[in-house]
Amino acid sequence: MTTPDEKLRTPSNLQLRVLASIAMIGVATVALVLGGVVFWLFAVVVALLMMSEWSTLHGADVRTRRLAQFSLSVPLALMAPASLLLVVHDFFTLGLLVGAAFFVVIVTRKPQLALGILYCGLPVFALMVIRRQHDGYEGIIFTLWALSLVWACDIGAYFTGRTLGGPKLAPVISPNKTWSGLIGGVTLASLVAALLHFQYGLPLRLTLATPALAVLAQGGDLYESWLKRRAGVKDSGHILPGHGGILDRLDGLVPVAPVAAFLVLLPHLYR
């Protein structure tokens, strides 16, 4: 019996998926390289779209969804570059992000929406912190590493799983994910990190941590699959051709970005 997902895995749909992936990676890379206000605005828009999809997955009505987005927008505003804020206060911004989560749960009585504030806000905060490192080249390389390992893991898992198949990784949560896909994703992510290390000077600690972060990215993917299964939907949204929603593409980045930021900042913590 053909499943709905198999019906969508046609050559034309695959081509659309590939083209959309190239476009998304291209836009994100341009924003990353430009940095500053451009990268911040790009991240803010993505975070607010994520919050909208998260709210929908948890059954929030339009009014409650807008309230959650407005609450998230306050700490997002303080993640702006120093050119707009004059002085950046990361700890205050992180506290405000937690405060926004408390505000949402008190007003809406929906703990899931409070979790969504952190789920959508922490990755943006982490990426802003990473991108600011050394105000230039290293910030770009470190951020590109965090993003590309997730992209590579997704691509490697998708094509390896389709090609080799084999035992299912978590059939109850996501029937299409396989152990071969996980291995392929981790392998490709590790190769990308090795390339960044040898060609662009990515620190060895980040290179060696990549396989573990790739596994973490797959865990984030499975978590979002569980959310969709619980909500009874195939995709978190329909904004991306061939891909579904924003959450469908960034679920792996959500757990990876904060850990990546910690690893990037690790040398500074012992100074």
State the SS3 of 192-258: HHHHHHHHHCCCHHHHHHHHHHHHHHHHHHHHHHHHHHHHCCCCCCCCECCCECHHHHHCCHHHHHH
- Amino acid of residue 202: L
Residue 52: what pLDDT? 93
Cβ atoms 254, 220 nearer than 8 A: yes
Residue 3: what pLDDT? 41
Q: Establish how many alpha carbons lie within 13 A of residue 209's alpha carbon, considering only the half-sphere containing its beta carbon.
A: 20
Cβ atoms 71, 261 nearer than 8 A: no
- Amino acid of residue 40: W
Residue 7: what pLDDT? 45
Cβ atoms 107, 67 nearer than 8 A: yes
> Among candidates 61, 57, 114, 14, which has minimal Cα distance to 235?
57
Q: Which residues of the chain have pLDDT under 70?
A: 1-14, 82-88, 134-136, 240-243, 270-271
Q: How far apart are CA 185 and CA 157, in angstroms?
A: 4
Residue 92: what pLDDT? 87
Residue 122 sits at the vertex; the CA angle it makes with 117 and 126, to the nearest 5 degrees, is 160
For 261, the token pair is 């930021």
Residue 6: what pLDDT? 45
